[in-house]
């Protein structure tokens, strides 16, 4: 089995540019499939889920072979692997010393999530499972609804949300910090831009990981409270890892009971919504025509008002941002998610947002060529109407 993995990894390394091109092409195609033919939504989401899972596997395989020094400026007198100085050679021009890193410096999100993935095996498994579930949850809902009906669909959705909630609570218990989205490192550069001669051999990739887990940045080496540190010191991201703020300083620890309660409310809000939707579908006064369908349940108020109230209360109790840029980005993403839930679900979607979207589609349909954009938007309306995970 290990030989098969090694052969696949070598094949991936030899064809990184081709693989990235194919991934990008397939990802673009999935945007235009909904509404084009029967079961186009399942085909589109299946391609997206498969592509996302494969891309995450490729990222983990390639990340082990990328030296950390490629994100640092070269030393002016240090020879490169080829034996010459750190230079950039172009046909017809003399060699020019290379002054910039080959790869961008890792973001704060990458440093934080990579730190916890290396430190805790439980965090690594829980975060990978949570990320993978988010890739396949909409596809699972689509298949369950098409093959088994609405009631089985809600059982599948409740099972998925229960697992996701347990994983979020487990990550909170391990880190004592908010759960970032995603909880795993993201792809931040094109692997095809890495020269083949700069990659680490497979035998030393494990040593790199082991050595990286032993040497940690110094706490307080560069204080996180330096005012405008990213603006006054634009090269601070080019410093070696041991001179940057410790990853634990990027997201402050949850110190009070109200801050912990805010994260618990945020982690369980969607599960509470699913429970209320299932309960509303079994109410005795429910409509006889498709009582468990999402368009019918969207006319109920409480399954959508209670989760929004929980998320707003979580927003009120959340930890102060302070000087944490990463936490500010996380809270901004959470606020956008709350807004999308408010306008794209429940009675608000049925009575206000959807008519506005339909009006925009009809307006675009009267303009030549621009009507194609209206058709593209219209292909997604049935998905927002019928599938819970299309918005959440």
Domain assignment of residue 24, yes or no: yes
Burial call 272-289: b when 16+ CB within 10 Å, e when fewer = bbbbbbbebbeeeeeeee
Answer whether residue 140 shows pLDDT above 90: yes
Domain assignment of residue 151, yes or no: yes
Domain assignment of residue 93, yes or no: no
Measured on CA atoms in the order 133, 294, 155, 340, is the torsion positive or negative? positive
Answer whether residue 218 shows pLDDT above 50: no
Domain assignment of residue 307, yes or no: yes
Query: What per-residue confidence (pLDDT) applies to 226?
Result: 44
Domain total for the chain? 2
Query: In which band, very low, low, confident or very high, does the pLDDT at 23 lie, cut at 50, 70 and 90?
Result: confident
Domain assignment of residue 8, yes or no: yes
Within this chain, do residues 3 and 150 fall inside the same structural domain, yes or no?
no
pLDDT in tens, 31-64: 888 767 778 889 889 999 999 999 999 888 888 8
Within this chain, do residues 219 and 362 fall inside the same structural domain, yes or no?
yes
Within this chain, do residues 116 and 47 fall inside the same structural domain, yes or no?
no
**SS3 category, 204:** helix
Domain assignment of residue 296, yes or no: yes
Within this chain, do residues 30 and 115 fall inside the same structural domain, yes or no?
no
Within this chain, do residues 166 and 25 fall inside the same structural domain, yes or no?
no
Measured on CA atoms in the order 314, 292, 391, 144, is the torsion positive or negative? positive
| Higher per-residue confidence, 389 vs 291 | 389
Within this chain, do residues 163 and 34 fall inside the same structural domain, yes or no?
no
Q: What percent of the chain has pLDDT over 90?
A: 50
Q: Which range marks the domain in which residue 55 is found? A: 1-63
pLDDT in tens, 82-126: 444 455 555 665 555 566 777 888 889 999 999 999 999 999 999
Which range (17-21, 95-99, 241-245, 249-253) has the least confidence? 95-99
Backbone φ/ψ region at 187: left (φ over 0), alpha (ψ -120 to 50), beta: beta
Q: What percent of the chain has pLDDT over 70?
A: 82
Within this chain, do residues 137 and 15 fall inside the same structural domain, yes or no?
no
Which range (124-133, 243-252, 323-332) has the least confidence? 243-252
| Residue located via tokens 């975060």 | 127
């Amino acid at each position: 089995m290990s030989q098969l993995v090694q052969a696949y990894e070598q094949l991936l390394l030899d064809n990184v540019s081709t693989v990235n091109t194919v991934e990008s092409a397939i990802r673009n195609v999935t945007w235009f499939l909904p509404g084009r033919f029967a079961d186009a939504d399942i085909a589109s989401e299946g391609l997206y889920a498969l592509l996302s899972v494969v891309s995450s596997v490729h990222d983990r395989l390639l990340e082990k072979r990328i030296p950390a020094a490629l994100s640092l400026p070269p030393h002016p007198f240090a020879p490169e692997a080829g034996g010459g100085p750190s230079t950039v050679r172009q046909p017809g021009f003399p060699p020019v010393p290379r002054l910039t890193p080959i790869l961008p410096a890792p973001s704060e999100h990458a440093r934080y999530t990579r730190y916890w993935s290396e430190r805790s095996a439980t965090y690594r498994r829980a975060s990978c499972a949570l990320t993978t579930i988010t890739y396949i949850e909409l596809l699972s809902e689509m298949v369950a609804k098409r093959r088994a009906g609405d009631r089985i669909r809600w059982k599948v959705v409740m099972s998925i949300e229960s697992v996701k909630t347990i994983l979020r609570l487990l990550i909170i218990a391990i880190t004592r910090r908010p759960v970032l989205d995603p909880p795993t490192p993201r792809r931040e550069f094109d692997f095809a831009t890495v020269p083949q001669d700069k990659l680490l051999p497979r035998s030393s990739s494990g040593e790199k990981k082991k050595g990286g887990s032993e040497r940690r940045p110094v706490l307080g080496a560069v204080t996180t409270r330096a005012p405008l540190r990213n603006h006054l010191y634009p090269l601070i991201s080019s410093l070696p890892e041991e001179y940057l703020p410790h990853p634990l300083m990027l997201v402050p620890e949850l110190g009070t009971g109200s801050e912990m309660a805010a994260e618990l409310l945020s982690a369980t809000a969607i599960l509470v919504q699913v429970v209320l939707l299932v309960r509303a579908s079994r109410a005795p006064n429910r409509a006889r025509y498709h009582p468990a369908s999402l368009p019918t349940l969207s006319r109920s108020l409480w399954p959508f008002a209670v989760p929004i109230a929980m998320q707003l209360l979580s927003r009120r109790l959340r930890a102060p941002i302070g000087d944490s840029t990463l936490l500010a980005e996380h809270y901004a993403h959470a606020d956008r998610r709350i807004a999308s839930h408010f306008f794209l679900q429940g009675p608000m979607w049925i009575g206000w947002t959807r008519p506005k979207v339909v009006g925009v589609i009809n307006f675009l349909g009267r303009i030549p060529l621009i009507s194609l954009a209206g058709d593209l938007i219209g292909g997604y309306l049935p998905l927002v109407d019928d599938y819970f995970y299309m918005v959440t």
